[in-house]
Amino acid sequence: MEDHYPPKKPRPLTPSEIKEIEDAFEVVSQEIELVFESRRLDSEAS
């Protein structure tokens, strides 16, 4: 198997793929905020 340089450019994302990534990012961001919030409340309670 031979290597190809430079590497091929990835194909552009479709609008629906971009939307899917943005939605997933939004969900993850909200989950992270919830974790930080609950940890903050835990540390205030102790």
Per-residue pLDDT of the chain (46 residues; tens, 9 = 90+): 567 678 788 899 999 999 999 999 999 999 999 999 999 999 988 8
The answer to whether residues 41 and 33 touch, using CB atoms and an 8 Å cutoff, is no
- Domain for residue 36, yes or no? yes
* Residue 3 placed within a domain: no
Calpha distance 13→33 (Å, rounded): 28
**Would 39 be classed as within a structural domain?**
yes
At residue 32, the pLDDT reads 97
Give the pLDDT of residue 8. 84
Dist. CA 33–CA 39, nearest whole Å: 10
Q: What whole-number distance in Å separates Cα of residue 46 and Cα of residue 40?
A: 10
What is the structure's pLDDT at 45?
87
Domain that holds residue 26: 16-46
Assess if residue 21 is contained within a domain. Answer: yes
The predicted pLDDT at position 7 comes to: 78
pLDDT of residue 46: 81
